[in-house]
Structure formats: C-alpha cells, structure tokens
C-alpha cells in the first residue's frame, strides 16, 4: 500500500490542541494514549496563558505519571509558572464524598433487616452506575468552576464512558427494580426508608435531579461550540474498528466527534513537524529492520482503514516515540502534532 500523505505541522510554538473549545475530551479504549493526549493538550493550553484544568476520570490514573507530579483528588495547581491545574477523580472516593441518587446507595443494610439473607442480587454492594454517577457529579462541579477557562478531560475507557452517558436510562431501570423489591418485601419494605436519604418519596428515591445532571452533561457534550470530543486510537485494524463503533455510539447520544487521533505511528517525527531536525529523535529503521518493516505495513493498512472510516474528520497522527511520553519536552511535541 502507498504511504498515506501527512500534512506537516508548521510550528512547535505553544498552541491549543482543541482550538477555542471550553471543554476538550479524549475518549477511546484503554491503553491507546488518551492520558498522553489530555496531558499534552492541557499543557499547551496553559502555556498559552489559559487557566486550564486537566481531569482524569479513568480509574487507572496515569496523569500524574505524564506530568511527573502527584495529583490529588481535588483540583490543584501543579505548575507555578503557568496556570495548569489537575485532578484525578476516584469514583469510589467520589461516591463516599458526594453520594449519588440522593443518599447512601449501599443496600447491605436490607440483608440485616432480613436476618442476614440477601433476597436479591440487587442488594449486594452498590446500585449499578453509582460510582459513575458520583464521578459525574464531581465533573459537573468542575465544569461550573469559574476558576478555569478550559477543561481537558481524560475519560475512562470506552465502556465506562458509555455507562455514564446511559445513566438516565439505568436510573429509571433501577427505580423500577426498587419498586418491585419493595412490593416483594411487603410491610418490611417500609424499613427501606432512609437508605436513599431525605429525597426518598412514597415511590422510592427521587432520581430526577441526578437524571437532570446527566442530561445536562449530555447537552454540554453535544454542543460543538463549547465541546471538542476527540477519539484516540492506534494504527491497528481492531483498534480502528472499535474507534468507529465508539463514534457511532456517541452519535447515538447526539455527541459529535471533531477529531480522530491515531497514536504511536511508526514514522519520523520530522514528517509531521516542520521544526524538528531530521534524526533529532530516534525513529524506526524501515530500511534494515525486518520487524519495523512488517509493523509499518500493518500500520499503513490500519491507517488506510482509518482514513476510509473517518472520511471528513480531522485525523491527527502522533508518532511512536522511543521513550515514554513524560515531561514537558515530549508533551509539547505531542501537542504540536494535535494542533
């Protein structure tokens, strides 16, 4: 297959990979480099003088590794010289701090009322989606925080992100299960009062405020004037196809995707960035390395598939670096590739 043409980026000067959008989100399967893209975009935004918060909602956080600093569970400034803030949301901690669905979601207490017997799998642990709902509640608080002019979000892997967007339907289903459980327990069902906090009514917990929050988040993500949603993938056929499935699912929620980022492409950095001198960074040896040649062929096929599946999208390419992408120098290079 012929090599895919690459449009070179003109400059390494600090810029904002995400244009003027207030919210920039990176989504995709686990392990494709969403954290790297979010860290690079956040750094470029702050270097541009914009008060920027980078948020990680991925339970397996690595944002601190990219920046080389420890990042707490509340928004904290991590650079004194530029307005760069960061936070790593821990869903379980968020659930303990803010609760969700109006109060305590633990149903283990019902088993105690029944003499230690659990009448239904529903009673084991938290309600489905509780941790995502709690993380969403914190995320919305950050989106409303006027300290930040731009928020860059490193989302959890595809499945977690989609569950968050499906929460309104999930909550309604949960409400139906709660009512059925109460009916099964009969008069004992009255003992469930208080498990959901003061918002519980005769028909069970009042989920309307939480449903409204998620629907508000959906509306925000669906606004192309304020939000730039970017899908990250790698140059492998299955990864590209999964990225396309995510794009289709996001469309189902009315969330437009602006950009597709193909990460870890085996090509010289100078083929993407004009300001990098040839040989300044280590590149795969496509002339003498048989393994590199084979991988290059595989990647070229996947890149061709990506160009076909995402025709009309802005497809960005980030090269495979010899080192892990950590620290300002490499993050600025990645940000330049994303502009």
Q: What tens-digit pLDDT sequence spans the chain (339 residues)?
A: 344 444 444 444 545 555 678 999 998 998 999 999 999 999 999 999 999 999 988 777 789 999 999 998 889 999 999 999 999 987 666 666 655 544 444 444 444 444 444 444 444 445 555 556 666 677 778 888 899 999 999 987 766 666 666 655 555 555 555 556 656 665 555 555 444 444 444 454 555 666 677 778 778 888 989 889 999 999 999 999 999 999 998 888 888 898 999 999 998 888 888 888 887 888 888 889 999 999 999 999 999 999 999 998 999 999 999 999 999 999 999 999 998
Structure token pair of residue 258: 């602006």
| CB contact at 8 A, 331 and 302 | no
Buried b (16+ CB within 10 A) or exposed e, 240-277: bebbbebbeebeeeebebbbbbbbbbbbbbbbbbeebe
- Tracing tokens 């595809």 back to the chain, one arrives at 158
Q: In the CATH scheme, what is the homologous superfamily, with its name and number, of domain 23-338?
A: P-loop containing nucleotide triphosphate hydrolases (3.40.50.300)
What pLDDT sits at residue 140? 79
| CB contact at 8 A, 268 and 321 | no
Reference 20, options 40, 47, 50, 43; nearest CA is 50
Cα radius of gyration (the chain): 23
Reference 110, options 16, 29, 177, 32; nearest CA is 177
**Residues contacting residue 71 through CB under 8 Å, at least 6 positions apart:** 56, 61, 63, 64, 78, 86, 87, 88
**Strand, coil or helix: 130:** helix
**Residues contacting residue 296 through CB under 8 Å, at least 6 positions apart:** 266, 284, 286
Domain ranges of the chain: 23-338
Please list the residues that pair with 88 across neighbouring strands. Answer: 56
């Amino acid at each position: 297959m012929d090599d895919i043409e690459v449009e070179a980026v003109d400059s390494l000067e600090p810029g904002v990979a995400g244009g003027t959008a207030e919210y920039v989100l990176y989504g995709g399967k686990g392990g494709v480099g969403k954290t790297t893209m979010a860290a690079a975009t956040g750094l470029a935004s702050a270097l541009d003088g914009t008060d920027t918060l980078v948020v990680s909602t991925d339970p397996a956080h690595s944002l601190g590794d990219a920046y080389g600093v420890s990042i707490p569970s509340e928004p904290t400034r991590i650079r004194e010289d530029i307005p760069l803030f960061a936070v790593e949301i821990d869903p379980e901690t968020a659930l303990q701090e803010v609760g969700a669905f109006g109060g305590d979601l633990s149903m283990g207490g019902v088993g105690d009322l029944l003499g230690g017997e659990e009448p239904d799998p529903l009673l084991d642990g938290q309600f489905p989606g509780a941790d995502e709902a709690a993380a969403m509640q914190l995320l919305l608080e950050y989106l409303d925080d006027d300290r930040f002019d731009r928020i860059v979000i490193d989302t959890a892997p595809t499945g977690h992100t989609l569950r968050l967007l499906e929460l309104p339907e999930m909550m309604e289903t949960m409400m139906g299960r709660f009512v059925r459980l109460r009916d099964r327990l009969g008069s004992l069902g009255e003992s469930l009062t208080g498990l959901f906090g003061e918002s519980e009514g005769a028909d069970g917990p009042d989920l309307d405020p939480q449903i409204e929050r998620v629907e508000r988040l959906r509306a925000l993500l669906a606004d192309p004037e304020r939000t730039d949603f970017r899908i990250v993938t790698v140059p492998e056929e299955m990864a590209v196809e999964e990225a396309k499935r995510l794009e289709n699912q996001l469309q189902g929620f009315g969330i437009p995707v602006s950009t597709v980022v193909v990460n870890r492409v085996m090509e010289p950095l100078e083929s993407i960035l004009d300001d990098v001198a040839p040989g300044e960074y280590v590149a795969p040896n496509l002339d003498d390395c048989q393994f590199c040649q084979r991988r290059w062929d595989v990647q070229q096929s996947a890149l061709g598939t990506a160009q076909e599946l995402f025709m009309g999208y802005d497809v960005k390419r980030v090269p495979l670096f010899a080192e892990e992408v950590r620290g300002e120098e490499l993050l600025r290079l990645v940000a330049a590739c994303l502009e």
